[in-house]
Amino acid sequence: MSDEPSDATATAPAEVERGRGFAARWSAFRDREFSTVVVMSLGVLVFPVVFNSLLDGYNQLATLMLIWGIFAVGFDILLGYTGLLSFGHAVFWGGAAYVAGIFSASVSSDPLLVILAGTGFAVLLSVIVGSLSLRRGGIYFAILTLTFGQMAFYLATSPLAFLTNGENGFTSVDIGPLFGVLDLHQPLPGAFGMLPGNTLYLFVGVLAVAAVAAANRILHSPYGIVFRAIRENERRAEFVGLNVWRYKLMAFVISAAFAGVAGSLFTIEGNYVPLDSLYWTTSGEVVIMTALGGVGSLFGPLLGAGVYLYIEFIVSGMEVIGPFWHLILGAVFVLVIVLFPAGIWGGVEAARDALAGGED
């Protein structure tokens, strides 16, 4: 897949004849990397309008969806593209959330610095956890990451309670205005106030677009293609002369960096870090989101995060079926795994290809 730079006027590939209609032009547009960014940006802008008016949504939930979406997009680089299932990513999400919270309370309250601190911590930690866990493959990798994750949870529960505030969660988060001027909890000044969502949503939205663009860039680069080669056949990749272990570690660190950004944003959004954010069920949540949305796709995990949180926050408030939201979620997840391994996004793609007349 060639990656033309962000030249929106580039001509369509030669083999696409002129005048083959909308489908051809759409597929030419779709193949360009810049269009991913455009589509994502438009999506972020339109989403709160649709979500709030048609689906009973509200800005705070839309923000939360994007935050978990960033987490899941990064997780999919590891699970979907490299083929490694980690059950310990809560340690990067929760770890970053705690560091972000502590950093905001005692060093600087600037949101960008807070994110940088949280993400930096997640990356450092992932190098350690990753290089230890990747000594084993398959289920052992899952169990080792689970082990390190749980170790962090129990460390935060009591031995480190003086830092984390133990079971009550970290409450003294103090987030200041962006660059010292822009308060994330106030409406934007002037004409910007007309934008959909609210300031915090747009801030998270910008980072979400950046995250998707970064993931897309990584996955379409020669480096990212090696990830897929490892997923398809690790031994063959090794025979070609690739240092498989290093690529796997890098995939692990990249996914942890996404988790770090998301975890820090979670602290900024909620002004609070619950102890649960380190428990292994949080790792399970991101696994469910990613697999539900569709492993090995760029937008699938975003969709999965959205569906998961929609069921958790909106369906749970509905009459009759509300109390069973978690059960519904589990059942839907099992059905998707058994019947549609490509997830919801796989279904969307199949429908799209059928509409386009078997273009791909």
Binding residues (CB under 8 A) for another protein: these are 79, 83, 85, 87, 132, 135-140, 142-144, 146-148, 150-151, 154-155, 157-159, 161, 280-281, 284, 287-288, 291, 323-324, 326-327, 329-331, 333-334, 337-338, 341
Q: Which of 196, 153, 203 is nearest to 175 (CA)?
A: 203
Nearest approach, Cβ of 212 to another protein (angstroms)? 24
Nearest approach, Cβ of 194 to another protein (angstroms)? 42
Q: 13 or 159: whose CB is closer to another protein?
A: 159
Q: 44 or 251: whose CB is closer to another protein?
A: 251
Q: 109 or 157: whose CB is closer to another protein?
A: 157
Q: 153 or 266: whose CB is closer to another protein?
A: 153
Q: 206 or 331: whose CB is closer to another protein?
A: 331
Nearest approach, Cβ of 85 to another protein (angstroms)? 4
Q: 49 or 334: whose CB is closer to another protein?
A: 334
Nearest approach, Cβ of 139 to another protein (angstroms)? 5
Phi, psi (deg, nearest 5) at residue 14: -60, -35
Nearest approach, Cβ of 334 to another protein (angstroms)? 4
Report the alpha-carbon distance of residue 144 to residue 169 in Å, rounded: 26
Nearest approach, Cβ of 174 to another protein (angstroms)? 28
Nearest approach, Cβ of 297 to another protein (angstroms)? 16
Q: 121 or 280: whose CB is closer to another protein?
A: 280
Nearest approach, Cβ of 145 to another protein (angstroms)? 11
The residues, any chain, with a CB within 8 Å of residue 130's CB and separated by 6 or more, are 248, 249, 252, 253, 256
Q: 45 or 160: whose CB is closer to another protein?
A: 160
